[in-house]
Structure 1
Amino acid sequence: MTLPCRSSAWCRGKLRLPLTEMLLLLVAIFWGSSYGVTKSALLFSSVFMFMAIRVLLTFALLIVPLVRDFRANRNADWHVAIPSGGILFAIFCCEIVGISETTATNAAFLISLSVILTAFMEVVVNRKPLDSYYLLLSVFSVTGVYLLTYSGQLTLTLNHGDWLILAAALLRALMVTMTKQLTLGKQITTLSLTAIQSMIVGLGAFVLLIMQTEFNLSDIPADLSFWWMTLYLVACCTLFAFFVQNYAVRKISPTKVSLLMGSEPVFGALFAYLWLDEAMTLLQFTGAVAILCSVYLASVRSA
């Protein structure tokens, strides 16, 4: 399925935007907004309580389709979701703790390195030849992210939170490549894959929560603004986003998936500007254009 095009000359080339690529760009918009929203939500809750609430709510929304798919015998290979669920749990830990200890723009830049890392991870995990076209676009995109987050220094000083975000970038690269490898030719629906991953992450977060503190129900935030932010993150940045990622990686190259979602720093910087009052300069705007050009060139290329 592609967008209609009125100009035949324009459409005779490869300048078309398939549905899968459009969904991935929508994920990038949601994820870009998630950094600022997450930082605000963490003002009301501890890291692991917030993580448990967010992901267990996601799992709760997926219980019905999960049971339905099992009853219809569509999940014979359900166990393939376990390794990717473990990786996703590690990503959440690194990202949420990291975001609480660094700026939204730093987080957006460092997580974008998963774009380049995925290109090399696909060679190692999926034994695919290195795609020089996507690698070049990945480097161009990350250069754009560097300009987008440039603060007047030639190098980025990394604190503890930054290192955690960098680890999350590596894990994201591993996540998309492993999901491709594990689900290839396997019988499991994308909804069930997402549900099982959510269950693993949510239970893992809850275990860490009760290990860290004496948990009781009165500790759950009651502020309405916290719940509005959490529901947004659940619906858009967790359930929808991870479903689309699982769906897309089974159809197209993991490197392309990562590159398209790599546009999230553009939206991260925009939301940081609007939500957290962080500055945005002409240089940052130039970086944003570079990222979007990379993403568009990737979008219109098949595979």
Structure 2
Amino acid sequence: MVVKLSKELIADLFLLSVTIFWGSTFIIVKKSIEMMPTFAFLTIRFFIATVLLVIMFFPKLKQLNKEILRDGVILGVVLFSAYAFQTVALEYAKASVVGFLTGLNVIFTPIFSAVFLKKMPRIYSQIGAVLAFIGVFLMSAGDSLTFSIGEILTIICAIFVAFQIILTDKYSRRHDTYLLTVIEIATLTVCSWIVSLLTEPYVLPEHFSNYLIFSFIITAVFATVYAFVVQNTAQKYTTPTKTAIIFIMEPVFAGIFGYLLGGEVLSLKGYIGALIMFAGLFISEIGPALKR
């Protein structure tokens, strides 16, 4: 028997693969910015990614126009804001906690999508988003139900991630997604470089350790080039709310890699939250199929 997968399901599976790479980067980046300044690290990461993207899609560059440049720069600035708040937050909070709180974009995305894109999420997506929000809260909030400076910075990051998702949904339907990705990541590089020059002692370290080289390979090649080419392409075939719910798996993988690479352990409440998040993703994905 041959199972025919819909374009939407294939897009969702590719987006899920992106969350694995993104989830692995939290603990990797946290260790890397202990070795070099935060925005210097981001500058090198996104510069490598930009060079690779330009090489990959060089023939398409002749199709550049003012509209793609404008929208790509907007996407890049919004995404830079998300990365800036998230990476600085890693200086103050555990990688797994930052990963989980980034998942709060799942509750912001449907709201922004309804307000700015006039796209009301399906009932299953709404239920999934609520469950995912409850799960993230259980995994992140401490016993006192208060948040540290690192956690507050991550919540701001989650707001920018939600904006990036809905803007990607809008722009990817009107432009070549590969060109859009090139401009977006190039903008990230320029923004990171400017902030690094203004606030940090250096951009290029005198010595690149084996760990930093490994870190740049993972974050630039897999978590940037692969991830954003997939996101900008796959979002043509799915919805912003479903994308946000799929991306909720990012903090789950952040927790797994945080344990495997950094020895970070969750509380029982955290693991219960993870199960609730899985339930939200399952309902969002399976609900429409069961209804049919």
Q: TM-score, normalised by structure 1?
A: 0.86
Q: 2:245 aligns with which of 241, 256, 259?
A: 259
- 1:248 to 2:248 alignment: no
Aligned partners of 1:254 and 1:35: how far apart in 2? 23
Aligned partners of 1:293 and 1:220: how far apart in 2? 47
Aligned amino acid, residue 241 of structure 2? T
Aligned to 2:116: 125
Per mean C-alpha deviation after superposition, the further-off stretch among 241-250 and 50-59 is 241-250
Aligned amino acid, residue 36 of structure 2? S
- Native 8 Å contact 1:65 1:192 kept in 2: no
Q: Aligned-pair distance for 1:301?
A: 5.6
Aligned to 2:159: 170
- Which runs of 5 or more structure 2 residues have no equivalent in the other structure? none
Matches within 5 A, 1:1-303: 5=3, 18-71=9-62, 73=63, 77-79=67-69, 80-149=71-140, 151=142, 153=143, 155=145, 157-184=146-173, 186=174, 188-215=175-202, 217=204, 219-300=205-286
Aligned amino acid, residue 271 of structure 2? F
Render the CA deviation track for 1:169-207: whole Å, top value 9, x for unaligned.
0011111112222343x2x32221111111101011111
Q: Aligned-pair distance for 1:220?
A: 4.5
Aligned partners of 1:263 and 1:278: how far apart in 2? 17
- Native 8 Å contact 1:84 1:179 kept in 2: yes
Aligned partners of 1:18 and 1:88: how far apart in 2? 25
% same residue: 23
- Native 8 Å contact 2:124 2:283 kept in 1: no
- Native 8 Å contact 1:112 1:265 kept in 2: yes
Per mean C-alpha deviation after superposition, the further-off stretch among 164-173 and 103-112 is 103-112
- Native 8 Å contact 2:129 2:245 kept in 1: yes
Render the CA deviation track for 1:46-95: whole Å, top value 9, x for unaligned.
00100001111100101123431123x37674222121111011111111
Q: Aligned pair in 2 of structure 1 residues 283, 165: CA closer, same or farther (>3 Å)?
A: closer
Aligned partners of 1:85 and 1:148: how far apart in 2? 29
Q: Aligned-pair distance for 1:247?
A: 1.4
Q: Aligned-pair distance for 1:108?
A: 2.0
CA RMSD of aligned residues (A): 2.6
Aligned partners of 2:31 and 2:203: how far apart in 1? 23
- Aligned pairs, how many? 288
Aligned partners of 1:15 and 1:251: how far apart in 2? 9
Q: Aligned-pair distance for 1:154?
A: 5.3
Q: Aligned-pair distance for 1:164?
A: 1.4
- Native 8 Å contact 2:97 2:139 kept in 1: no
Aligned partners of 2:203 and 2:262: how far apart in 1? 31
Aligned partners of 1:220 and 1:19: how far apart in 2? 44
Q: TM-score, normalised by structure 2?
A: 0.89
Q: Aligned pair in 2 of structure 1 residues 292, 216: CA closer, same or farther (>3 Å)?
A: closer
Aligned partners of 1:57 and 1:228: how far apart in 2? 13
Q: Aligned-pair distance for 1:21?
A: 1.0
Q: Aligned-pair distance for 1:150?
A: 5.7
Aligned partners of 2:207 and 2:31: how far apart in 1? 13
Q: Aligned-pair distance for 1:292?
A: 2.0
- Which runs of 5 or more structure 1 residues have no equivalent in the other structure? 6-10
Aligned to 1:8: none
